[in-house]
Chains A and B, each alone.
Chain A
C-alpha cells in the first residue's frame, strides 16, 4: 500500500520542509521575546552601524566587480592574448583560497608589522581594523562571481555576432553595447545577484581584518556573532532574520533570472 503513494510529491514536500524549517526557526527565535525586542535589536545604534557598513561594503564591491568581471570575461572570451591563463587563474583564486587566509594576507601586507605597515603609519592611513580593510576583504572574496558567470556563456556564444557587427561597420563600443551586452545581460544580472549575496554575508575574511570594534568595524554577520556570544539570543536572531530576508529576496531574484536565461 505504502509503495503506491505518489513518490515525487512527498519528495518535493521533504525538500520544501528542509528549506522552510530553518528559515522559520530564525524568525521564531527572533520573535521569541516579542516584536518590541525585535525592533529594539534592529534599531540599536550598533545594529544600524552594522547595516550601514555592510551596505557600504556591498555598494563598493559589487559595482567594482561588475566592471572588472565584465572586462575580464570579455577579453578572455573574445580575444587571445599572452597571460590569458594566468588571468583565469587569478579570477579563481578567491574561490580556492580560504577567506581566513585572505584576511591574514591583508594583515600581513597592511598590518602595523606588515610590509606596508610603516609607510601607512607614517601617512596616518588606516586599512586593517578600519573600514577600508573590510571593503578590501569584501572585494576580494566576491571577485570571481560576475566573471565566472559570464565566461562559459560568452565562450559558448563565440565571436560570430560581434564579427558580423564589425563587418557591418560598427565600432568597438557599438559592438559591445548593441551586440555583446544584450546577449549576456541576464547572466550578468545573475552574477551580480550572487556577488551581492556574498558581499553581504561574508564572515571569515572580514572577521580577520575587522578588529571587532562594535559600532565601527562590525558588519551584520559579525554583529550577529557578537550578540549571540553575549547571550542576547533573540537580538542575534532578529539581526540574522535581516540576512535571512535578504537571502530569500536573492533566491527569488535568482530564480526569476534563471528562467530568463533558459
Chain B
C-alpha cells in the first residue's frame, strides 16, 4: 500500500478526468419526428417502428449525437476510409468462379426450377393506421408484435 501511494505521486496517469462539459442548451434542437418523417423512415427501412418506444429511442440517439455539433470541423474533409492514401488492388476482369448454381440457391426458402421466387411487384406497401402516442401498457411485449 505504502509503495503504491508513493509511486502514484510519480505517475503519468492523470488523477482526474479532463473531459469538457457540454452545455446541452447550446445544442441544436432535435427535429420533431412527425408522422411524415416516421412513415418515410419506415418505407426506407422496410421495418416498422413498432411503438412509441421505437420513436423515443430514435429521439434519444439524435439528442446524444447532437453533441458532435460542438466540434469545430471547419475546413476538415470527411474521412471515408483509412485507406484513402492507397490504391486499392483491382484484379483482372476474368471469370474465375462459376458453376455454383446449386450453392447460390441452396439458402432460398422458395425456388422454382432454379429461380428465386418473389411475390407480385410494383404494389406499394399497405398503409397501416398507426398511432405512436405513448402506450398505456408496459413495454415488456414491445419486441415481437408481428408474429
Pairing of A with B: no
A residues whose Cβ falls under 8 Å from a Cβ of B: none
Q: Which residues of B pack against A, CB within 8 Å?
A: none
